[in-house]
């Protein structure tokens, strides 16, 4: 046996030497120290036990075995452990050649057995052979400690990220909305899928459905900036197109080239019964009638967010009218790409069949309404297809059921008066936009920010925002752009109107002007006078709607009359004036 260890390589190893013979104790101790080891020598078992029980670090124990009342074997339980972190290698030194004793020692975990008389060099070589074992145990212990620390820190970071995202930002479950059912199943603690709702000051419902590249925490972090932008801009009353542009700009500037977010964004206007849909890289959204048949498919017509620069991004939406018996279904690719036992995907055909004929109610738990029946039905069928509750990818889907949603959204409009604002001093605020500023600026949203800062409540702001939006849209569409709503009877005419609108907005010239005036007056009743003036030909007061065609064209002005105490059109319709009390 030849040792390759140098003297300097032994200096970090501490030996416990128990030798009851004083001469041998001194001989072995001195020789081992000369070889570079740190040696703690004792002459009896009681002293050895005292050292073992203390805080003194020991790497290897050399124990002289004597067949007495307290022997080396009695010390083994304190040294030989199943846990490698606390195990100390042991060499038994004995004058006995008894095979039974040797077998007993090995069974108790002794690493080596030496029969006296022994040469100090042999003892040193035996110790050298155990050094690599000691050092390996040290490496494993250190690595395990580092791993535990990393796990602890990762857990703390995940808890912080979970608090920020799911508790602070993503608060979907705090205010359920009848007619909206959302299901999200994650394959890990963090999900790359997101479904979030938000209500604008006008009472319009916005839905953000996103699927980020990757999985887990890295995908979740990708969603955080777009979620905060979405909620803030909807709350301020921005239009869907501007929200899409702002989210794309933020993601394009923040994300690395291999990261992007597929997303669909929806705006439901309960007053006009219109739904605006933008689909960038998500699976097809389906508008279903009461029988579950597809009335319209919103296919992906745009690139995912975070890829294109602002000047090349198309934020135009598909717009259609909806009826109360319809529903809108959106889902992530985790639904249709989920494989079955034979590797076949769930697919769109099976999805539409499930939406048309959901499973029996007793299989779905206790769904609260038609929207929940559809989401729970899809999830149940998907689980049966997967033969397991663990899906291949994050799964998310939502259903908007308009029969329940539209009345609820309309109920958010409270005709709140201004009696609690008698203390507010009179003010007059106006802004004039021209050319492309008319398209780019959010005039209604900016006005609401002003009113909020002046002390107007949310209900009061909602009422004003809705009225402003209708007056501004009418002034732009029918005054400046000279568009007619008479064609908005069927779906083809509806889409044609909005396509012409987008084209006309791009042609706005400096002579095209739009002015908004807010005039707050005190009196017997506090009054807010809203005036919208445009440079176009104006729009005349429409008669009371009696046909579907007229109903489409006059819906906005009808709502203005409902929200205001008085409403008049001046200068051939170019000057609209509404008074709210």
Across 146-150, 154-158, 240-244, which has the greatest mean pLDDT? Answer: 240-244
Tell me the average pLDDT across 219-238.
Answer: 88
Which range among 83-92, 175-184, 241-250, 358-367 shows the weakest confidence by mean pLDDT? 83-92
Tell me the average pLDDT across 423-444.
Answer: 91
- pLDDT of 168 above 60: no
For position 551, what pLDDT does the model report?
43
CA distances from 128 to 89, 112, 384 (A): 12, 12, 61
pLDDT digits (tens, 9 = 90+) for 496-527: 888 888 888 889 999 999 999 999 998 778 89
Q: How confident is the model at residue 553 (pLDDT cuts 50, 70, 90)?
A: very low
Q: In the sheet that 112-115 helps form, which strands lie side by side, from edge to edge?
A: 38-42, 14-18, 60-65, 90-94, 112-115
Question: Which are the contacts of 421, defined by CB distance < 8 A and separation ≥ 6?
Answer: 455, 456, 460, 526
Count of CB atoms within 10 A of residue 308's CB? 17
Q: Residue 395 CA to chain centroid, in angstroms?
A: 13
- pLDDT of 246 above 50: yes
Which range among 65-69, 232-236, 576-580 shows the weakest confidence by mean pLDDT? 65-69
DSSP state of 475: I
Cβ-contact 500, 483 below 8 angstroms: yes
User: In the Cβ-directed half-sphere of 532, how many Cα atoms lie within 13 Å?
Assistant: 28
Separation between Cα atoms, residue 154 and residue 7, nearest integer Å = 41
Question: Which are the contacts of 234, defined by CB distance < 8 A and separation ≥ 6?
Answer: 198, 199, 200, 206, 243
CA distances from 529 to 223, 233, 446 (A): 41, 26, 17
Tell me the average pLDDT across 215-219.
Answer: 76
Closest CA to 239 of 502, 432, 421, 494: 502
- pLDDT of 411 above 50: yes
Cβ-contact 384, 359 below 8 angstroms: no
Tell me the average pLDDT across 81-100.
Answer: 81
Count of CB atoms within 10 A of residue 360's CB? 8
- pLDDT of 284 above 90: yes
For position 509, what pLDDT does the model report?
92
Return the ∠ at Cα 95 (arms to 94 and 96), rounded to 5°: 90
**Domains, the chain, ordered by start:** 7-141 (3.40.50.2300), 175-410 (3.60.40.10), 414-580 (3.30.565.10)
Cβ-contact 206, 247 below 8 angstroms: no
Cβ-contact 270, 406 below 8 angstroms: yes
Q: How confident is the model at residue 27 (pLDDT cuts 50, 70, 90)?
A: very high
- pLDDT of 547 above 50: no
- pLDDT of 86 above 80: no
For position 341, what pLDDT does the model report?
84
Task: Output the DSSP codes for 178-239.
Answer: TTEEEEEE-SSSS-SEEEEEEE-TTS-EEEEEEEESS-HHHHHHHHHHHHHHHHHHHHHT--
For position 204, what pLDDT does the model report?
92
For position 276, what pLDDT does the model report?
96
Q: Residue 566 CA to chain centroid, in angstroms?
A: 46
What average pLDDT does the structure give for the chain?
A: 86
Tell me the average pLDDT across 355-369.
Answer: 85
User: In the Cβ-directed half-sphere of 412, how many Cα atoms lie within 13 Å?
Assistant: 22
For position 106, what pLDDT does the model report?
87
Tell me the average pLDDT across 470-478.
Answer: 90
For position 75, what pLDDT does the model report?
87
CA distances from 391 to 162, 184, 222, 336, 343 (A): 21, 11, 22, 11, 13
pLDDT more than 70, % of the chain: 90
pLDDT digits (tens, 9 = 90+) for 1-13: 556 677 777 888 8
For position 538, what pLDDT does the model report?
64
- pLDDT of 343 above 80: yes
Q: Read off φ and ψ for residue 169, nearest 5 degrees.
A: -90, -55
For position 544, what pLDDT does the model report?
43
Which range among 59-73, 240-254, 399-413 shows the weakest confidence by mean pLDDT? 59-73
Which range among 249-253, 332-336, 462-466 shows the weakest confidence by mean pLDDT? 462-466
C-alpha dihedral over 156, 158, 160, 164, to 10 degrees?
180
For position 164, what pLDDT does the model report?
61
């Amino acid at each position: 046996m030849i040792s390759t260890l140098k003297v300097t390589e032994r200096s970090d190893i501490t030996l416990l030497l128990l030798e009851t013979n004083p001469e041998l104790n001194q001989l072995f101790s001195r020789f081992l120290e000369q070889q570079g080891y740190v040696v703690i020598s004792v002459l009896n078992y009681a002293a050895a036990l005292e050292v073992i029980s203390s805080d003194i670090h020991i790497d290897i124990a050399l124990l002289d075995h004597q067949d007495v009342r307290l022997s080396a074997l009695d010390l083994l339980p304190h040294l030989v452990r199943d846990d490698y972190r606390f195990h100390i290698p042991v060499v038994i030194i004995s004058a006995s050649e008894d095979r039974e004793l040797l077998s007993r020692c090995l069974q108790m975990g002794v690493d080596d057995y030496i029969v006296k008389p022994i040469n100090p060099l042999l003892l040193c070589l035996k110790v050298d052979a155990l050094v690599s074992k000691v050092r390996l145990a040290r490496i494993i212990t250190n690595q395990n400690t580092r791993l535990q620390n990393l796990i602890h820190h990762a857990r703390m970071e995940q808890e912080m990220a979970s608090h920020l995202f799911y508790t602070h930002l993503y608060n979907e479950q705090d205010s359920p909305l009848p007619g909206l059912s959302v299901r999200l199943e994650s394959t890990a603690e963090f999900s790359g899928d997101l479904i979030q709702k938000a209500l604008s000051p006008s009472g319009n419902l916005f839905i953000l459905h996103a699927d980020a590249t990757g999985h887990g925490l890295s995908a979740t972090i990708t969603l955080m900036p777009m979620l905060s932008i979405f909620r803030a801009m909807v709350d301020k009353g921005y239009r869907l197109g501007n929200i899409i542009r702002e989210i794309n700009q933020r993601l394009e500037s923040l994300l690395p080239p291999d990261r992007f977010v597929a997303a669909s964004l929806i705006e439901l206007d309960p007053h006009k019964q219109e739904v605006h849909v933008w689909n960038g890289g998500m699976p097809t959204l389906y508008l279903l009638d009461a029988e579950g048949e597809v009335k319209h498919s919103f296919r992906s017509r745009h690139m995912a967010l975070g890829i294109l620069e602002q000047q090349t991004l198309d934020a135009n939406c598909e717009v259609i009218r909806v009826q109360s018996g319809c529903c809108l279904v959106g889902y992530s690719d985790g639904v249709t790409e989920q494989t079955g036992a034979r590797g076949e995907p769930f697919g769109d055909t099976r999805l539409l069949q499930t939406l048309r004929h959901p499973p029996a109610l007793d299989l779905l738990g206790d769904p609260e309404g038609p929207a929940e029946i559809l989401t729970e039905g899809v999830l149940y069928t998907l689980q049966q297809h997967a033969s397991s509750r663990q899906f291949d990818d994050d799964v998310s889907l939502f259903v908007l059921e308009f029969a329940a949603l539209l009345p609820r959204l309309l109920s958010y409009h409270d005709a709140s008066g201004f009696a609690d604002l008698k203390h507010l001093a009179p003010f007059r605020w106006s802004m004039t936009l021209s050319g492309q500023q008319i398209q780019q600026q959010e005039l209604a949203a900016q006005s609401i920010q002003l009113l909020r800062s002046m002390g107007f409540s949310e209900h009061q702001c909602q009422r004003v925002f809705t009225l402003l939006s209708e007056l501004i849209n009418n002034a732009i569409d029918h005054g400046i752009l000279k568009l007619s709503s008479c064609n908005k009877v069927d779906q083809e005419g509806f889409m044609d109107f909005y396509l012409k609108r987008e084209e006309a907005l791009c042609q706005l010239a400096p002579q095209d002007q739009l002015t908004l005036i807010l005039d707050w007056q005190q009196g017997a009743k506090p009054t807010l006078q809203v005036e919208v003036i445009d440079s176009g030909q104006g729009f005349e007061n429409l008669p009371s709607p009696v046909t579907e065609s007229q109903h489409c064209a006059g819906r906005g002005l009808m709502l203005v009359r409902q929200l205001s105490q008085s409403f008049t059109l001046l200068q051939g319709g170019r000057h609209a004036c509404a008074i709210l009390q």
